[in-house]
Amino acid sequence: EDKVVQSPLSLVVHEGDTVTLNCSYEVTNFRSLLWYKQEKKAPTFLFMLTSSGIEKKSGRLSSILDKKELFSILNITATQTGDSAVYLCAVFNAGGTSYGKLTFGQGTILTVHP
């Protein structure tokens, strides 16, 4: 059974801090790993990672994947109160009857105080 574990489950920081969110996974027929930000209902796509060691970057957010050790990290630098959200990690299964299925981690609740 596919499994995704995120840590920490919650994190409280002050504006300007840098945070690192972790995601480890076990999945048959790995296709990609995705990061989402969820503020209200619908998750908003952040990154898709398919190759090891290649950093994806968008503004203050960056992410990298290690396919050998089966984990990914999401970094947020110079955090702002608007970064407060639940960050979800998910893996895409590309095989057989599970094709296209996303398995999500529990999420990390990030709270940024002014």
Partner 1 sequence: SAVISQKPSRDICQRGTSLTIQCQVDSQVTMMFWYRQQPGQSLTLIATANQGSEATYESGFVIDKFPISRPNLTFSTLTVSNMSPEDSSIYLCSVGFQGTEAFFGQGTRLTVV
5 binds partner 1 (CB under 8 A): no
105 binds partner 1 (CB under 8 A): yes
11 binds partner 1 (CB under 8 A): no
92 binds partner 1 (CB under 8 A): yes
Nearest to 7, CA basis, from 19, 17, 18: 19
67 binds partner 1 (CB under 8 A): no
- Quick one: residue 67, left, alpha or beta (phi over 0 = left, psi -120 to 50 = alpha)? alpha
Q: Give the DSSP letter of residue 54.
A: P
Are 111 and 10 spatial neighbours (Cβ–Cβ below 8 Å)?
A: yes
Site track for partner 1 across 19-48, x = CB under 8 A: ------------xx-x-----xxxx-x--x
Q: Which of 19, 88, 110, 112 binds partner 1 (CB under 8 A)?
A: 88
Phi/psi for 19 (5° steps) reads -125, 150
Could you give the C-alpha distances from 59 to 30, 44, 45, 63, 83, in angstroms and in order? 27, 15, 14, 11, 12
Identify which of residues 80 and 99 has a Cβ nearer to partner 1 in the complex.
99
Binding interface with partner 1 (CB under 8 A): 31-32, 34, 40-43, 45, 48, 88, 90, 92, 94, 97, 99-107
